[in-house]
Structures are given as structure tokens and as C-alpha cells.
């Protein structure tokens, strides 16, 4: 008598919101999977940006999706997502936007049985009430929230924090570099080239937020620190984090369209900070700390051999102290920004949901 054949794994339906830096990399990675087992696990049925959307219950070819979108007669609306994903089977929304409106829907989708995988930190990294609503919605809808790409662009940071705690460990402190773009900027900056020119380069390389002031102001890092703290059991609200911004007031008030020409306002203050640090043999690093009962984010001058001063490129470098790692912290380091690593982190979370829904 032969063994009963295994049922083929169910195919999850996926909606992708956002076709910018990260969303395009998600489509490219999906297209590169053509013919592999990963590709057989999911079917892309909806793609949208702010302007247009395309849906197809039979599945859109990832390599053609942007072209389909450009030709699509359908205007984009968030209400289309549920209809496109249907009513049964595993259904996953990928949020590759930086949109408040999309983040505001996360809890609704989760409660309605749709899993959410996100690169956007607005859902979990802003108000405590929204973070709580998302957690409650996963319980109500028996759904999952994939957030690996929100901190460390897919580095095993949140996963490690959660695994330590599920093993009974208590987290004492977290400190490190959480911004890939600011890491890159301070790794490149030598006090000679204008800092503003490097900001343009970081933006063009896809490391910054759509508005680079979200990085330079410390807001992106505040969100990441809130996500880490909340995952470590410290339920902070946004106002509990002390943030020291690098954005001068005259830059903060400008519209996004008039920002570029005004970026040189960053140059003189940063040249001064760099020169002072250089004289003392120190390096500038934008550090987030959850330590000694305080949460804070800002630029620090650290000795060259300081454990948080290392790294290259867009490296994030995060130290975690816990019962287990009391004296020497656990240190996690690796690229913390960039379209490809972020897309890989998002799709790892998608595949994890596909596997979990098989069980
Ligand atoms: N860049 C990186 O290294 C990393 C980025 N992230 C996060 O990824 C997210 C995306 O970043 P990035 O790709 O650089 O941003 P982009 O500005 O390049 O792309 C954003 C996309 O979102 C779309 N969008 C905005 N609102 C909506 C909406 N309501 N419905 C559908 N689509 C919408 C935009 O549409 P349109 O094209 O019409 O403007 C655009 O296609 C951000 O939240 C960022 O924080 C996370 C980790 C790393
Ligand atoms: N703008 C962010 C991108 C990843 O989250 C950063 O610089 O880290």
C-alpha cells in the first residue's frame, strides 16, 4: 500500500501597495522567483500606488505589474484591497508605502482575516493606541503582522528580541544605530564634502524616507525605537522618546518640493559638530537608546573604538542587554536600508505566513 499523497500547499493571495523604491524591489524579487517553489506559494492579485491599481483573480505577472498598472483604467482606492483578495484562503496585504492612510487600515484588515506584512513603521511605531489596536486585531482576526522590515530592513532584530523573551529572558536595555541612511551619511562624511550633497546621494540611492527630513529629524529612528521597546515589553508612547533633530527650523517649515535647494542649511552646523568630534578622536553616530529608564534619540560623538561606532555603509548596529547578556551585550549588525534587503525581509515574512497557514 502506497503512502497517501501530500496535499499541495495552498496558494496565498497577495496585494502589494506601493510601487516605489521598496515596492519595485518586491516585484523584481517576485519575478526572479519564476518557476521556483516560493513562487508557487503565492499569487499576486492586486497592485496599487496612489494613482492606479490593477487586480486580477487569476494572478498578475510580477514582471508585468508596473506596465499593467500604467495602462489600468482603475483608480486606486484602499477599499479595493478586500474585494481583490476575496473571502477565503490565506490573504496577505504587503504595505510598501509610507502612507498614514494605509497604516490606519492595518488593524481593520487584520481583524477581517487579512494578514499584513509591512515595511512602513507608522502602524506600530507611532501612537501607543494604534500599536495596541494592531495587536488586538491580530487576536480578533487570528491573523499575523509581519514587521521584520520595519526595524533593520529585515535584520533579525525583532525576531531575536521575541525569541529571547519567549525563552524567559528579560530585556534590560537596547542601544544602537537604527537608521541605515544616517549610518551611511556619517560613514561617508569627512567634513570636506557638503553634508547636503551626501543627503541627496542617500536619497537617490533609496536609503532615505520619501522625505529625508523624516530621517534627519530622528522621527524614523523614534518609530524604530518605539517598535523595539514595545516588542521588549516597554509600552512607551511617542512623546516618551526624547528626540534631538538635525533639521534646522528653516528647513523644517518648507514643503517637500522646495526642500532640495535648501538642504545646504544642514552644512555649517554639521561641519562644526564633525570638527569638534574629530579633534577629540571621536566619530559621529546617530544613536537610539532605551537605557536607564529613558528613551532617547540623537547624534552622539563616540570614541573610535566604541562598540556602537563600528560598521560600514548602511549598517545598523544594535546592542541588547538582558538577563542572559548582562555584561557583554548581544550585538546584531548588518545593512539597515536599501530596496533589496527590505524587499527580501518583506517576502520572508510573507513566506512565513504561507508556511504557518499550512500547519
Ligand atoms: N528605503 C528603504 O531602505 C526602506 C524603506 N522602508 C519603508 O518602506 C516604505 C516605502 O518606502 P519607499 O519605497 O522608499 O517609498 P517611495 O516613496 O519610493 O514609494 C512609496 C509608494 O507608496 C505608494 N503609496 C502611497 N500611498 C499609497 C496608497 N494610499 N495606496 C497605494 N500606494 C500608495 C506611492 O505611490 P505613488 O508612486 O503614486 O507616489 C509609492 O509608489 C516606507 O514606509 C519606508 O519607511 C523600510 C525599510 C527600508
Ligand atoms: N529611511 C530608513 C529606511 C529603513 O527603514 C533608514 O534610513 O533606515
Note the pLDDT tens digit of each residue in 232-273: 999 999 999 999 999 999 999 999 999 999 999 999 999 999
Dump pLDDT digits (tens) for 128-157: 999 999 999 999 999 999 999 999 999 999
CA of 21 to the centre of ligand 1 (A): 7
Q: Which residue is closest in CA terms to ligand 2's atom 2?
A: 208
Mean pLDDT of the chain: 96
Q: Whose CA is nearest to atom 3 of ligand 2?
A: 337
pLDDT at 359: 75
Please tell me the pTM assigned to this model: 0.97
* Cα–ligand 2 centroid distance for 180 (angstroms): 5
Helix/strand/coil (H/E/C) assignment for every residue in the chain: CCCCCCCCCCCEEEEEECCCHHHHHHHHHHHHCCCCHHHHHEEEEEEECCCEEEECCCCCCHHHHHHHHHHCCCECCCCHHHHHHCCCCCEEEEECCCCHHHHCCHHHHHHCCCEEEECCCHHHHCCHHHHHHHHHHHHHHCCCEECHHHCHHHCCHHHHHHHHHHCCCCEEEEEEECCHHHHHHHHHCCCCCCHHHHHHHHHHCCCCCCCCHHHHCCHHHHHHHHHHHHHCCCCCCHHHEEECCCCCHHHHCCCHHHCHHHHHHHHHHHHHHHHHHHHCCEEEEEEEEEECCEEEEEEEEEECCCCCCCCCCCEEEEEEEECCCCCCCEEEEEECCCHHHHHHHHHHHHHHHHHHHHC
Ligand nearest to the CA of 184: 2
For ligand 2, is residue 316 a contact (CB within 6 Å)?
no
Which amino acid residue places its CA nearest to atom 23 of ligand 1? 18
pLDDT-derived band of residue 296, with 50, 70 and 90 as boundaries? very high
Distance 198 CA to ligand 1 centre (A): 21
Predicted confidence at residue 2, as pLDDT, reads 47
Is ligand 2 within 6 A of the CB of residue 215?
yes
Q: pLDDT of 64-85, one tens digit each? A: 999 999 887 779 899 999 999 9
181 lines ligand 2 (CB under 6 A): yes
Q: Report which protein residue has its CA nearest ligand 1's atom 16.
A: 20
CA of 266 to the centre of ligand 1 (A): 25
Which residues are known catalytic residues?
A: 224
Q: Which atom of ligand 2 is nearest to the CA of 182?
A: 7
Atom of ligand 2 nearest to the CA of 316: 8
Q: What is the pLDDT of residues 313-340, one digit of tens each?
A: 999 999 999 999 999 999 999 999 999 9
Residue 209 near ligand 2, beta carbon < 6 Å? yes
Q: How much distance in Å is there from the Cα of 262 to the middle of ligand 1? A: 23
Ligand 2 in reach of 147 Cβ (< 6 A): no
pLDDT tens-digit series, residues 165-212: 999 999 999 999 999 999 999 999 999 999 999 999 999 999 999 999
Q: What's the mean pLDDT in 275-301?
A: 97
pLDDT at 73: 76
Amino acid at each position: 500500500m502506497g503512502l497517501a499523497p501530500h496535499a499541495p500547499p495552498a496558494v496565498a493571495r497577495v496585494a502589494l501597495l506601493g510601487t516605489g523604491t521598496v515596492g519595485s524591489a518586491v516585484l523584481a524579487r517576485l519575478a526572479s522567483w519564476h518557476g521556483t517553489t516560493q513562487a508557487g506559494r503565492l499569487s499576486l492579485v492586486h497592485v496599487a500606488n496612489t494613482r492606479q491599481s490593477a487586480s486580477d483573480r487569476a494572478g498578475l505577472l510580477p514582471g508585468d505589474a508596473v506596465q499593467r498598472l500604467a495602462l489600468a483604467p482603475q483608480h486606486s482606492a484602499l477599499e479595493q484591497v478586500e474585494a481583490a483578495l476575496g473571502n477565503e484562503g490565506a490573504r496577505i496585504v504587503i504595505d510598501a508605502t509610507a502612507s498614514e492612510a494605509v497604516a490606519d487600515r492595518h488593524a481593520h484588515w487584520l481583524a477581517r482575516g487579512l494578514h499584513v506584512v509591512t515595511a512602513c513603521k507608522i502602524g506600530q511605531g507611532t501612537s501607543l493606541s494604534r500599536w495596541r489596536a494592531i495587536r488586538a486585531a491580530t487576536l480578533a482576526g487570528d491573523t499575523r503582522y509581519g514587521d521584520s522590515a520595519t526595524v533593520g530592513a529585515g535584520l533579525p532584530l525583532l525576531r531575536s528580541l521575541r525569541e529571547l523573551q519567549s525563552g524567559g529572558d528579560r530585556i534590560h536595555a537596547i542601544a544602537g544605530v537604527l537608521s541605515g541612511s544616517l549610518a551611511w551619511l556619517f560613514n561617508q562624511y569627512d567634513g570636506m564634502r557638503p553634508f547636503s550633497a551626501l543627503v541627496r546621494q542617500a536619497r537617490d540611492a533609496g536609503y532615505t524616507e520619501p522625505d529625508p527630513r523624516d530621517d534627519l529629524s530622528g522621527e524614523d529612528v523614534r518609530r524604530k525605537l518605539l517598535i523595539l521597546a514595545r516588542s521588549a515589553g516597554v509600552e512607551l508612547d511617542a512623546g516618551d522618546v526624547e528626540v534631538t533633530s538635525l533639521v534646522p527650523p528653516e528647513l523644517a517649515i518648507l514643503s517637500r518640493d522646495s526642500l532640495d535647494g535648501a538642504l545646504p542649511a544642514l552644512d555649517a552646523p554639521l561641519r562644526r559638530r564633525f570638527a569638534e568630534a574629530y579633534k577629540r578622536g571621536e566619530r559621529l553616530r546617530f544613536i537610539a537608546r532605551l537605557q536607564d529608564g529613558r528613551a532617547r534619540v540623537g547624534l552622539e560623538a563616540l570614541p573610535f573604538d566604541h562598540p556602537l561606532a563600528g560598521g560600514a555603509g548602511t549598517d545598523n548596529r544594535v546592542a541588547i542587554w538582558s538577563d542572559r547578556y548582562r555584561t557583554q551585550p548581544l550585538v546584531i549588525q548588518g545593512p539597515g536600508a536599501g530596496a533589496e534587503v527590505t524587499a527580501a525581509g518583506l517576502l520572508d515574512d510573507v513566506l512565513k505566513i504561507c508556511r504557518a497557514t499550512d500547519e
